[in-house]
Structure 1
Amino acid sequence: MTGRRLSPAALPAVMLLAVPVVAAVAGPFLAPAITPPDGAPYTIGGGHLLGTDRTGRDVLGLLLRGGPSALGVACCAVAFACLAGGLLGLAAATTRHRWIDEAMMRPVELILPIPSLLIISVVGVGWRGRPEAIAFAVAAINVPAVARLIRAAALDAAGGPVAEAMRFQGESRARILLGHVGRSVLPVAAADAGTRVPYAVFTVAAANFLGLGLDATSPDWGVTIAASREALLIQPWAVCAPAAMLVMFTVGLNLLADRLLGARERPRTTKAAGR
């Protein structure tokens, strides 16, 4: 059995994605060993590779310590939203009773028009400084949209001949829901998650930038950008370095998702064309 090799076309995406991911995973362990003590505010050089911020903290140290909150909160929120919204959408698509479908999806449609900034503002003001609160707000924003998308993608499979045959044979509802219908919507769910993670990263960064998330002393990349934005021309690294991390992560993840999904669909297209 041979493993699949990553396409060379995906290497730029992997390289872009690797920088912020490695910084988020290994950065907190490396920061104390490779960053010098705090210095004067907004300095460049003097032993500080990327200079210092407005309070004299080493920018490289902030960059290495700020990844877990910047990326981890968003990824956890999207994972929860995909799980909860996906199960809700699958359950609505596979139910045999229209009133159950309506009872599940009507609240979803009521939540969808609520502006995301309003939800984040309410949660952020009530539980300021707690990353789990922002994660909950971002998940709450995404669950309705995920549920609606998965339901629409699962309707054909849920009402198709395979699902009917499984019901006729006495298969359990869980097996039909997860074993057949769930597998049929995996490409759609993967493509959707690939776009939601970058959006969630920027949502978390925006919440921290607006002061609705973590406090101003946090090394989070969004907080760092907000704290030093007024000195962009004096100390550009304090803003550009964390911003570059966010951009590399979002662009790299989108490119990688496109490559992987394209590689998965290409053999099917080729096989169908050869018939």
Structure 2
Amino acid sequence: MEYPLKKNQPVVVKEEKALTPFQVKLRLFLKNKLAVTGAVIVLLFILLAIFAPLIAPYGIREQDLTKRLLPPSGNNWFGTDDFGRDIFSRVIFGARISLWVGFFSVLGSVIVGSFLGILAGYYGRWVDTIISRIFDIMLAFPSILLAIAIVSILGPSLQNALIAIAVINIPNFGRLIRSKVLSVKQEEYITAAKAVGMKDSRILFVHILPNSLSPIIVQSTLAIGTAIIEAAALGFLGLGAEAPNPEWGKMLADSKQYLVQAPWTLIFPGLAIMLTVLGFNLMGDGFRDALDPKGKH
């Protein structure tokens, strides 16, 4: 039952608490169902990688030749490979390798690429010319061929594959941060910082870099998925992880001759790659929509 207001009774209006910029971006991200789905997929694989020893029913090197190439069953959910090893256990542990390569290769690309991009965009002139030409030369080569060349020089191994993937992605981050710096350095607060005699290093890393993080976050998320594919490609070619490490690309290479006889040996590592990359791509799209100041929300 509603009671009418008495005469001269003050009307109390509840003021909504203002949201912080972070809360606004988070709310926009959570409204994107595909982005949330991608985040759930990525979180699932991260948890599988962290708790792999507790989840995996068998050891990754545990062989039983009497059970080789068995189809999926209650004892072996994803079947067994040509050495009788449990594919489910190896796929779970493979998440550790793929995510490790993806995260740290992109981290290296971000650090080096952002540093070079900031220098090129802020100082311009000959510094910009030299760095930009280096980026152009690197981008002139197909990324996977450049990665193969680097691994061939350094020697086939998982660590060298990580280095190669980090190197081939440096120009992408460098050019991205350069373009952002070119616009940010024209802002009035940067001009004011220069006017009061602030050091270039402080201007670059305290004022310009934090205001250039949005595109880096989006590109980093998308680049992790790409790095996982590149690591799988190098592993498939025998230039990445070495046996018996359960790297997804290496698992595909070892099982390609059993495509007709035992297709599950390829299907499940391939699905793991597909789902992980899909998760990062959906997250990247969600971050782009949430962090884009010009987006229509």
TM-score by length of 2: 0.81
- CA–CA separation in structure 1 for the residues paired with 2:108 and 2:54: 27
Unaligned runs of 5+ in 1: 271-275
- CA–CA separation in structure 2 for the residues paired with 1:126 and 1:99: 31
Per-residue deviation, residues 143-178 of structure 1 (Å, max 9, x unmatched): 122112211121011133221111001122122112
Q: Is the 8 A contact 1:35 1:48 kept in 2?
A: no
Aligned to 1:73: 101
Q: Is the 8 A contact 1:128 1:215 kept in 2?
A: no
Aligned to 2:43: 18
Aligned to 1:185, what secondary structure does the other structure show?
A: helix
Aligned to 1:241: 268
Report 1:107-186 matches (<5 A). Answer: 107-186=134-213
- CA–CA separation in structure 2 for the residues paired with 1:107 and 1:11: 38
- CA–CA separation in structure 2 for the residues paired with 1:202 and 1:223: 12
- CA–CA separation in structure 2 for the residues paired with 1:73 and 1:210: 16
- CA–CA separation in structure 2 for the residues paired with 1:13 and 1:145: 23
Aligned to 1:62, what secondary structure does the other structure show?
A: helix
Which of residues 63, 84, 87 in structure 2 aligns to 1:38? 63
Report the CA distance between 1:62 and its aligned residue: 0.9
- CA–CA separation in structure 2 for the residues paired with 1:205 and 1:72: 12
Normalized per residue, which structure has more helix?
A: 1
Structure whose CA Rg is larger: 2
TM-score by length of 1: 0.87
Per-residue deviation, residues 65-99 of structure 1 (Å, max 9, x unmatched): 2122222112211111011101110111111x512
Worse-superposed segment, 239-248 or 226-235: 226-235
Which of residues 78, 95, 118 in structure 2 aligns to 1:50? 78
Q: Is the 8 A contact 1:216 1:227 kept in 2?
A: no
Superposed CA RMSD in Å reads 2.4
Report the CA distance between 1:234 and its aligned residue: 3.0
Q: Is the 8 A contact 1:138 1:204 kept in 2?
A: yes
Report 1:193-208 matches (<5 A). Answer: 193-208=220-235
